[in-house]
Chains A and B, each alone.
Chain A
Amino acid sequence: MSEKEIKNLDEIFEQRIARDEKIEPKDWMPEKYRKTHIRQISQHAHSEIVGMLPEGNWITRAPSLRRKVALLAKVQDEAGHGLYLYSACETLGVSREELYDQLHSGKAKYSSIFNYPTITWADIGAIGWLVDGAAIINQVPLCSTSYGPYARAMIRVCKEESFHQRQGFEIMMTLAQGTPEQKEMAQDALNRWWWPSLMMLGPTDAESVHTAQSMKWKLKRKTNDELRQQFIDQTVPQAELIGLTIPDPELKWNEERKSYDFGPIDWDEFWQVVKGHGPCNKIRMEARVGAWEEGEWVRDAAMSYAEKQQNKKTKQAV
Chain B
Amino acid sequence: MMNKENLIEYIYSIADNSLILGQQLSELCGHGPNLETDIACTNMALDLLGQTRSYYQYVAQLVGANKTEDDIAYLRTERQYKNVLLVEQPSTHFGYVIGRQFLFDVFHLLLLEKLQFSKDETLAAIAKKGIKEVSYHKRFSSDWIKRLGDGTKVSHDKIQEAINHLWPYTEELFDVMPADKEAIECQIGVDAATLKESYVAAVSEIITEATLTLPETKWYQRGGKKGIHTEHMGYLLSDLQYMQRTYPNMKW
Contact = CB atoms under 8 A, between A and B. Distances in A.
A and B touching (Cβ–Cβ under 8 A): yes
Contacts of B244: 63
Contacts of A254: none
B234 interface: no
A291 B33 contact: yes
A76 B152 contact: no
Interface string B22-53: 01001101111111111100110110011011
Contacts of A179: 247, 250
A79 B152 contact: no
Given A82-B35, A299-B34, A65 B94 contact: no
Given A60-B26, A76-B39, A178 B240 contact: no
Interface of B: 23, 26-27, 29-39, 42-43, 45-46, 49-50, 52-53, 56, 69-70, 73-74, 93-94, 146-148, 150-152, 154-155, 158, 239-240, 242-244, 247, 250-252
5 contacts: A69-B50, A79-B38, A174-B252, A301-B148, A301-B154
Specify the main secondary structure of chain B where it touches its partner.
Answer: helix
A314 interface: no
Nearest to B70: A64
B36 A182 contact: no
Contacts of B151: 300-305
A62 B23 CA distance: 11
B23 to A, nearest CB: 6
Contact of B30 (A174, A291, A296, A304): A291
A171 B98 CA distance: 33
A60 to B, nearest CB: 4
Interface in A61-75: 61-69, 72-73, 75
Contacts of A151: none
A123 B152 CA distance: 42
Interface stretch (A31-39, A49-57, A215-223, A256-264): A49-57
A305 B146 contact: yes
A60 B43 contact: no
A73 B42 CA distance: 8
A80 B39 contact: yes
Contacts of A305: 146-148, 150-151
A60 B239 contact: yes
A83 interface: yes
Given A60-B240, A61-B243, A75-B29, A297 B42 contact: no
A294 to B, nearest CB: 7
A287 interface: yes
B31 A291 contact: yes
Contact of A298 (B94, B146, B251): B94
Contact of A52 (B29, B37, B53): B29
A297 B27 contact: no
Interface string A266-301: 000000000000000000000100111011111111
Nearest to A50: B30
A308 interface: yes
A302 B147 contact: yes
Interface of A: 49, 52-53, 56, 59-69, 72-73, 75-76, 79-80, 82-83, 86, 121, 171, 174-175, 178-179, 181-182, 287, 290-292, 294-305, 308
Contact of B56 (A65, A72, A121): A65
A171 B252 CA distance: 7
A298 B73 contact: no
B31 to A, nearest CB: 5
B94 A304 contact: no
B250 A53 contact: no
A59 B46 contact: no
A69 B31 CA distance: 17
A82 to B, nearest CB: 6
A75 B239 contact: no
A301 B45 CA distance: 23
Contact of B252 (A67, A72, A83, A298): A67
Nearest to B241: A61
A166 to B, nearest CB: 16
Contact of B26 (A59, A64, A80, A175): A59
B155 A65 contact: no
B20 to A, nearest CB: 11
B26 A178 contact: no
A75 B42 contact: yes
Given A65-B73, A73-B46, A52 B26 contact: no
Contacts of A82: 35
A257 B98 CA distance: 59
B227 to A, nearest CB: 21
Given A75-B42, A305-B147, A56 B29 contact: yes
Contacts of B43: 76
B26 A301 contact: no
A305 B155 CA distance: 10
